[in-house]
Chain A
């Protein structure tokens, strides 16, 4: 199904292009946001990444998932943006959308979860976001970030332990 949409998008079908962008734009934006920590920059990076991907979509082979390819570009663009701007972000951004309508019982748990994710080192947080939000496997995360699988497993293990501990405290 997705390969059909990709084929149509490659031939310039606006409907297929819209479907493809709508499917992945939110996660791509949240990945960029977790790296650059600024909503406007994250939006620009997401837009540029889509344009880059669509420009080369004709040469896309189905040996990897489209989302992995897209997130890899988003990741590289975001990291490149930070390096280029020599950016050290001090903006108090929030990955958590407070308007998502969560009930008050789970509110504390959500707050604690996001606090735990915030407290992680940059690379650790990016890997956590790719693992949980983008639902990527260790192999795919290695493709996206260029880190070794062993390294990713260690980071994930450490980060998950930290997040689980925070969540347990919140539940108690």
Chain B
């Protein structure tokens, strides 16, 4: 039984069709490399960041509208324009930090792919 199995195995292996032309392998490698390159250069959209960004934008418009039509209450909170500048600066710093983070991350990703 075992020897019969060996005969069949060897016969099938010895007499199987072979893809002899190098172009077969080379065309697969070439297509694969092209696809890799196109994926690496494709613009990357982070959908969760996009959703967060849009939500913040909508919330800001809501806040502006709220203040515009109910302006009185803002004076009762005791906030001054200095507080406004402080909030604005912190937000701006946060945005710059996020932007730098994205730039560093995308550089590292492209280095890994190389």
Check B32–A51 contact: CB distance below 8 A.
Answer: yes
Residues in A with CB closer than 8 Å to B32 are 17, 50-51, 54-55
Of A12, A14, A27, A46, the contact of B113 (CB 8 Å cutoff): A12
Check A97–B8 contact: CB distance below 8 A.
Answer: no
Check A95–B17 contact: CB distance below 8 A.
Answer: yes
18 example contacts (A-B, Cβ-Cβ < 8 A) are as follows: A17-B28, A17-B29, A18-B25, A26-B17, A26-B18, A26-B19, A43-B24, A47-B24, A50-B32, A51-B35, A96-B15, A114-B15, A129-B12, A132-B5, A132-B12, A163-B4, A167-B4, A167-B8
- Chain A 111-143 per-residue mask, 1 if CB under 8 angstroms from chain B, else 0: 001100000000000000100110100000000
**Chain A, residue nearest B27 (CB):** A47
Of B12, B24, B25, the contact of A133 (CB 8 Å cutoff): B12
Residues in A with CB closer than 8 Å to B25 are 18, 21-22, 25
Residues in B with CB closer than 8 Å to A39 are 17
Of A29, A100, A163, A164, the contact of B19 (CB 8 Å cutoff): A29
